[in-house]
Amino acid sequence: MVRLALRTGLRWKLSAAIALVGALVAIALSLVVHNAARHSMLDNSRDVQIERLNFTQKIFESTNRLQFGAKIDDPALPRPLRDEVAKNKRATYLQDTGQTVPEVWAASPLSNGRVLSMHDRFPDRFAVLDDLDQALVIGSTAVVVGGCALGVLVGGRLSKRLRKAAAAAGKLADGDTAVRIRDEVGSGRVRDETDDLAWAVDAMSDALQERIEAERRVTADIAHELRTPVTGLLTAAELLPPGRPSELVRDRAQALRTLVEDVLEVARLDGHAERAELQDVVLGEFVTRRVRALGPDIVIDVVRDAEVTTDPRRLERILGNLIANAARHGRPPIEVTVEGRVLRVRDHGAGFPEALLREGPSRFRTGSSDRAGRGHGLGLTIAAGQARVLGARLTFRNADELTDGSTGAVSVLWLPENAPTNTGSFPVIQLPDR
């Protein structure tokens, strides 16, 4: 099942949260104020009606005249109020249908057993409640709008700093070790979690760089120390008498020497101290000549030739490693294609393992089981490092990701239009849509 994830900015989430909380608080307070004001008005209306009833009863008992619309034994008198008066009590009753202004009743027993009652709606009093509701609505709307504006303001600043931190982390992941996230995000007068995150990531980056540099130095030192005894071992193996055992010793000694040289080369590339020695090269002719020397059975196709400014030695190293990897782990035929500044090497084997396609080449890891046990995983690592020195881009994919539906591993080298600078910086490569 594929889940659809909605992506939205932090500022809008924060604004929505503040607006929601503001709306809930405003609604709750509005309901409390409305109910309190309504109950107060109703209680006040009951008190006024009782005072008017008392005044009317006094006038009626002295002059036998009714005031304020009072009635004797009103047939419309509500039954609950009639029952209370029957207990010889003076009482009020609120008749509220919810559609009109509540009607306030008041009744009192007379000395002759009759009931004096009066009722009124007090529309002027409850009109104030409508004005209060309107004011509460306006105030609640202002609170919600103000909360949204505050959320956009605060969330926008926080989101901007987090985006800068993410961009700086991306540069750091691409190998720019000079980037400091705390410098990118800046700092305000009040330190918050963004500053803590920036300092923590910078500290982690420094620790990782120190560890990587220490491992690189150890690897380089070990490989350098091994060069002398391995060279002596290889020289001594050449002095052995002819025979199968001597051939095995020379073969293993040569393999060990190649491994030591590869490890040294990886260490130098990891140190970012390598610089390209640039020359103008006709790519099609250069590739044809070098590939013919590596293997006569390799298929060469120059679709479109181009003249590039690059380091021939490093380009030959990349090409040789890609072809060696295809010959060792793939199946023939091996095809080399030159199309402008793009160089492709393809075999017809099982293709690259998923881990390599996902994470890139890794030293001393040869991939899936059908590619295990042969090689040390340094060939593609060296090729990728040399491509970085040339300012080029080396990508890996399987042929079944193309349109022809065939299988095989495809390595693509994108040479830049502009040569790398003397300071070692690399130009941006614009990749065409394919």
Asked whether residue 327 falls in the same domain as residue 264, the answer is: no
Residue that finishes a domain, picked among 274, 291, 315: 274
On whether the CB atoms of residues 132 and 44 are closer than 8 A, the answer is no
Same-domain status, 322 and 253: no
The pLDDT, as a whole number, for residue 383 is: 83
Is 60 exceeded by the pLDDT of residue 422?
A: no
- 142 pLDDT band, cuts 50/70/90, is confident
Contact between 413 and 342 under an 8 Å Cβ cutoff? The reply is: yes
Range scoring the smallest mean pLDDT among 36-45, 108-117, 226-235, 306-315: 226-235
User: CB count, 10 Å around CB of 399?
Assistant: 20
- For residues 280-309, give the mean pLDDT: 86
Query: What is the CB neighbour count within 10 angstroms for residue 353?
Result: 19
pLDDT tier at 425, thresholds 50, 70, 90: very low
pLDDT bucket at 15, cuts 50 / 70 / 90: confident
Give Cα 175 to chain centroid, integer Å.
Answer: 20
128 and 72 within one domain: yes
Q: How confident is the model at residue 7 (pLDDT cuts 50, 70, 90)?
A: low
Judge if 77 and 140 occupy the same domain.
Answer: yes
pLDDT of residue 371 exceeding 50: no
- Tell the residue number behind the tokens 């399987």, with chain if given: 398
The answer to whether residue 202 is domain-embedded is: yes
Share of the chain above pLDDT 70, in %: 78
d(CA 363, CA 345): 20
pLDDT digits (tens, 9 = 90+) for 25-38: 888 888 888 888 87
| Token reading at 135 | 């004011």
pTM for the model stands at 0.50
Does position 130 have pLDDT exceeding 70, yes or no? yes
8 Å CB contact between 370 and 384: no
129 domain-assigned: yes
Task: Name the token pair of 272.
Answer: 């970012």
Whether 195 is covered by a domain: the verdict is yes
Single out the residue in 230, 245, 274 at which a domain terminates. 274
CA distance 141 to 130: 17
Enter the DSSP assignment of 35. Answer: H
Tell me which amino acid residue 90 is: R
Match 């926008």 to its residue by tokens.
Answer: 156
pLDDT of 253: 74
Report the pLDDT value the prediction gives residue 190, as an integer from 0 to 100. 63
What is the Cα–Cα distance from 202 to 182, expressed in whole angstroms? 7
State how far the Cα of 283 lies from the Cα of 341, in Å rounded to an integer.
8
- 216 plus 141 within the same structural domain: no
Asked whether residue 425 is assigned to any structural domain, the reply reads no
| Residue 294 covered by a domain | yes
What number is the average pLDDT over the span 260-264? 70
Residues 225, 124 share a domain: no
- In sequence order, the β-bridge partners of residue 94 are 104
Element (H, E) at 214: helix 193-238
Confirm whether 434 is domain-assigned.
Answer: no
pLDDT at 272 over 80: no
Higher pLDDT, 406 or 409: 409
β-pairing verdict for 307-310 and 279-282: antiparallel
Per-residue confidence band for 370, with pLDDT thresholds at 50, 70 and 90? very low
Residues 189 and 131 in one domain: no
CATH number of residue 399's parent domain:
3.30.565.10
pLDDT given for residue 427 in this prediction: 45
For residue 28, give Cα distances in angstroms to 22, 23, 33, 383, 415: 10, 8, 9, 67, 66
Q: Select from 146, 169, 188 the last residue of a domain.
A: 146
Q: Domain check: are 406 and 314 in the same one?
A: yes
What pLDDT does residue 172 have?
76
Q: Confirm whether 32 is domain-assigned.
A: yes
Give the pLDDT confidence score for residue 426 in this predicted structure. Answer: 44
Q: At what angle do helices 193-238 and 244-270 cross, to 10 degrees?
A: 150
- Residue 288: pLDDT over 70: yes
Instruction: Tell me how crowded residue 63 is: count the other CB atoms within 10 A of its CB.
Output: 9
User: Among the listed ranges 46-60, 298-312, 383-397, 411-425, which one has the minimum average pLDDT value?
Assistant: 411-425
User: Tell me, what's the pLDDT at 280?
Assistant: 86
Strongest mean pLDDT among 73-82, 212-221, 309-318: 309-318
Task: Assign 67 a pLDDT band (cuts: 50, 70, 90).
Answer: confident
Its domain, for residue 209, covers: 177-274
Strands 342-346 and 335-339, how do they pair? Answer: antiparallel
CATH code of the domain covering residue 237: 1.10.287
Crossing angle between the packed helical segments 193-238 and 123-173, to the nearest 10 degrees: 20
How confident is the model at residue 423, as a pLDDT? 43
Do 286 and 268 belong together in one domain?
A: no
HSE at residue 355, side-chain half, CA atoms within 13 A, is 10
Q: Is the pLDDT of residue 278 over 60?
A: yes
Tell whether 169 is covered by a domain: no
Tokens at residue 326, please? 């295809």
Q: What is the pLDDT of residues 169-210, one digit of tens each?
A: 777 777 677 777 777 777 666 677 777 778 888 788 778 777
Q: What pLDDT, on the 0 to 100 scale, is given for residue 326? A: 85
Q: Is the pLDDT of residue 377 over 70?
A: no
- Asked if pLDDT for residue 99 goes beyond 70, the answer is no
**What is the tally of structural domains in the chain?**
3
Does residue 416 share a domain with residue 314? yes
Query: Do 26 and 38 fall within a single domain?
Result: yes
Same domain, 22 and 52: yes
Coil vs helix vs strand at 106: strand
Task: Please provide the distance, in angstroms rounded to a whole number, between the alpha carbons at the two ends of the chain.
Answer: 29
What is the overall mean pLDDT for the chain?
76
Three-class DSSP category at 207: helix
Q: What percent of the chain has pLDDT over 90?
A: 0
Provide the pLDDT for residue 189.
65
